[in-house]
Structure 1
Amino acid sequence: MALARYACDPAQSRGRLHDEAMSTFRSPFQRDRDRIIHSSAFRRLKHKTQVFVEHEGDYFRTRLTHSIEVAQVARTIAGALGLNEELTEAVALAHDLGHPPFGHTGEDALAALMAPHGGFDHNAQAIRIVTSLERHYAGFDGLNLTWETLEGIAKHNGPVLPPLPYGLADYNSRHDLEIDSHAGAEAQVAALADDIAYNNHDLMDGLRAGLFTDTEIAGLPIVGPAYAEVDAAWPGLEEKRRRHEALRRVFGTMVTDVIATTQARIAETDPDSPQAVRDLGAPLVRFSAKAWEEIEAIRAFLFRRMYRAESVMAERARVTRVVEDLFPLFMHDPGLLPVAWQADVAEAEGATALARIVADYVAGMTDRYALQEHARLIG
């Protein structure tokens, strides 16, 4: 399918920080996607969690399954809007690479520990991973992704205002990502696909965990009509199938709304290039006002009944202590870091430089490895 005028054309890419010959068979954005999939950080997402800690059950979403779901939703929306699906998928697959173990709980703990040393932000950490910490290629550190993919990772949630978080500030000084503007439409699609995916799978995971019931969420906007539609089509349907049929309709309703709303925005604003999308001063890709209000109601329910559930909060406190124990231990005795990290430690000048190395190491841990290391080193 031909790309729309406002889509990012790989033939017009702004290129990579380190020049490379073009691939014979793959576009630049396809190569970006493939490098992300083959990265060590992407594989580690398998044992990093969203809400529940990795050991709590095999059926709960991990960062890896979430990223795949986001990419699938994003490609659907991008295709309907005439956008570049490979770029959209690359940003979607990379959007969570910077998350430390234990989801947002781990990020909160690490941000507090790094406050005296420039802070910690998972989006900035994702940039640090793909531009520095992945060290496999002969000619450069990182993955040497295209400007467009890096832009999407850095600002898929919108412009980044100063002061810039460390990982982003460092790279942006060498390769200007124009972080004070909105990203291209492909990255905006990836951001809303993230919203769609996690709202839906958190409903499913919360039901599976017994934190609320189908009857309770059937009172929510978007969700309630989906259950009613299933009940009308299949009265008396077995509960597991009923739940699945309802929640897949919730997915469909959100995706349809984004596509229709964005198509109306495109007709209204008539962007004739990717740069025109960035220069609009507001997102091109968005939910309708009604859908956004309804999604906010779903989020409020999840916050109250899932993210702040007593059992979840107790586990959050436990894993927070794991991060709070490991970080000062490595700061006090960096010789405990693996051999592969010792060259960086030897070059570190001052507490802040060492803290960044320790933060990179701890942030790269999976839930399982963090718990194992905590048990081994602290007991």
Structure 2
Amino acid sequence: MLQPYACQPQASRGRLHEESYSTFRTPFQRDRDRIIHSSAFRRLKHKTQVFVEHEGDYYRTRLTHTIEVAQVARTIAGALGLNTDLAEAVALAHDLGHPPFGHTGEDALALLMEPYGGFDHNAQALRIVTKLERHYADFDGLNLTWETLEGIAKHNGPVEPPWNYALAGVNGMWDLELGTNASAEAQVAAVADDCAYNHHDLHDGLRAGLFTEADLCELPVLGECFATVDKLYPGLDPMRRRHEALRRVFGVMVEDVIAVARNRLEALQPQSVDDIRNMQGPIIRFSKPLYQNIKAIKSFLFTRMYRAPTVVVERKRVTGMVNALFPLFLERPELLPDDWQDDVAKALAKGNEEGRTEIARVVLDYVAGMTDRFAIQEYTRLVESA
């Protein structure tokens, strides 16, 4: 039974292109399934979080991260009486717009796209699911419901103008009410993202040797979790000790979110999803004490992992690749594959200035869609071997 403030599938605002109702799947289940079967979703398996995809088989990729986020989102949404299918759909789509090389690639493309309307991975995810997936006979994109598109656009909170051109374009087709909160289900997906990456970045950083368990024991939450494991399992094998401690960290975060949300929902008594959207701030969030502890953990990870000397060297290398590929395709769009040439021709037909902007956006769509390994291959073929 869903709570009154949950998104009810039978009350969905529908799809941009009208379709018949499925006899055995709700609209949000269909959204989830379309995302899973999309080309962009498959490519996540060769896109990285922090480490470049080829550096090791045990490090998380965007795909494994996304699966973990979806699992956490289902758990939290189910505990709160929310629509688990919608929470899962938003979680599965939340990273579709990420370019190769993680946040490093996004930073590079954002700078390159400044003259052409900017770049943001959330806006790019919307562009993918409304335009770039071209498999259906009746429409471009996946024709997702309004609620799923809303969740992709603003799961991290209201989006104030000026908007990225991709976000503005989608919002121009269909008003996503960008100035309000997202549904509780989308907020769950955002918090699940925080839980998942804080947990697995600790795992990956340990595996990479960027810090030790002793370092983590100096941090809030982590010290208590390691102490609990040591008390329950003295002399435990180091790898098992690590796993037992970090899974408890995961549990602390998820249980905190559920407890805080239940208290806030009980106090505020929202009676509809629009009550959630019009609240002052999110309904789904960490408690203030845990939020401060997570900030300390994030600060540690930023210094010891995201800006570790070996990671910085790799960031510089892959930034150079993006900075070489983008202007090369911009100046020579004929190098794009044949199935991109219709888009190139349409862009060129718009004239000099507008045409160049459109070409830049076509190039962005192509480069942002690359996996790590394909971007490296293309750089080797077109730049190093030229």
What TM-score do you get using the length of structure 1 for normalisation?
Answer: 0.99
| Kept in 2: contact 1:74–1:189 (CA 8 A) | yes
Is 1:377 the counterpart of 2:382? The answer is yes
Match of 1:359 among 357, 364, 371: 364
How far apart are the structure 2 equivalents of 1:367 and 1:328? 18
Distance 2:156 2:277 in 1: 13
- How far is the alpha carbon of 1:44 from its aligned partner? 0.2
Letter in 2 for 1:7: A
User: In the alignment, which residue of structure 2 is the partner of 1:240?
Assistant: 239
Shift of 1:249: 0.3
User: Where do residues 31-110 of structure 1 align in structure 2 (5 Å cutoff)?
Assistant: 31-110=30-109
Q: Which amino acid aligns with 1:342?
A: Q
Which residues of 2 match residues 189-268 of structure 1 at below 5 A? 189-268=188-267
Cα distance in 1, alignment partners of residues 68 and 173 from structure 2: 33
Separation (CA, whole Å) in 1 of partners of 2:378 and 2:233: 50
Superposed displacement of residue 219, structure 1: 1.1
Letter in 2 for 1:112: L
Other-structure match for 2:302:
303
Partner residue, 1:25: 24
- Matched with 2:289 is 290
Where structure 1 has 5 or more consecutive residues not aligned to the other structure, the ranges are none
| Contact 1:128 1:167 (C-alpha < 8 Å) held by counterparts | yes
Residues of 2 paired with 1:67 and 1:20: CA distance?
Answer: 28
Distance in structure 1 (CA, Å) of the matches to 2:156 and 2:288? 18
Measure the CA separation in 2 of the matches of 1:29 and 1:245: 35
Q: 1:174 Cα deviation (Å)? A: 1.2
Identity of aligned residues (%): 69
Q: Tell me how far 1:307 sits from its aligned partner.
A: 0.3
Q: Which residue of 2 aligns with 1:145?
A: 144
CA distance in 2, matches of 1:224, 1:101: 34
Q: CA deviation at 1:78?
A: 0.3
Structure 1 CA distance, aligned partners of 2:191 and 2:283? 11
- Post-superposition, which runs of at least 4 consecutive aligned residues in structure 1 deviate over 3 A? none
| Alpha-carbon distance between aligned partners in 2 of 1:160 and 1:280, rounded to the nearest angstrom | 15
Over the residues paired in the alignment, what is the CA RMSD in angstroms? 0.5
Contact 1:81–1:259 (CA under 8 A) maintained in structure 2: yes
**What secondary structure is seen at the aligned counterpart in 1 of 2:79?**
helix
**In 2, are the aligned partners of 1:71 and 1:93 still within 8 Å (CA)?**
yes
Question: How many Å separate the matches in 1 of 2:361 and 2:24?
Answer: 38
Once the two structures are superposed, residues 187-241 of structure 1 have per-residue CA deviations (whole angstroms, 9 ceiling, x without a partner) of 0000000000000000000000000001100111111111011000000000000
Contact 1:152 1:184 in 2 (8 A): yes
Contact 1:92 1:190 in 2 (8 A): yes
Deviations 1:75-129 (A, max 9, x none): 0000000000000000000000000000000000001000000010100000000
- The residue number in structure 1 matching 2:5 is 6
Which secondary structure state, in structure 1, belongs to the residue aligned with residue 173 of structure 2? coil
The aligned residue for residue 327 of structure 1 is 326
1:34 and 1:206 mapped to 2: Cα distance? 33
Unmatched 5+ stretches in structure 2: none
1:132 equivalent to 2:137? Answer no
SS at match of 1:365: coil
Number of aligned positions between the proteins:
378
Alpha carbons 1:77, 1:255 under 8 Å: kept: yes
1:302-354: per-residue Cα shift (whole Å, max 9, x none)? Answer: 00000000000000000000000000100111110000000000000321000
User: 1:281: Cα distance to partner?
Assistant: 2.1
Deviations 1:17-48 (A, max 9, x none): 00000011100000000000000000000000
- TM (norm. structure 2) is 0.98
User: 1:293: how far off?
Assistant: 0.3
Q: Which amino acid aligns with 1:117?
A: Y
Correspondence 1:278 to 2:277: yes
Q: Distance in 2 between matches of 1:9 and 1:145?
A: 15
Secondary structure in 1 aligned to 2:57?
coil
Deviations 1:245-264 (A, max 9, x none): 00000000000000000101
2-structure distance, mates of 1:74, 1:214: 28
Q: Report the residue type matching 1:188 in the other structure.
A: Q
Shift of 1:375: 0.2
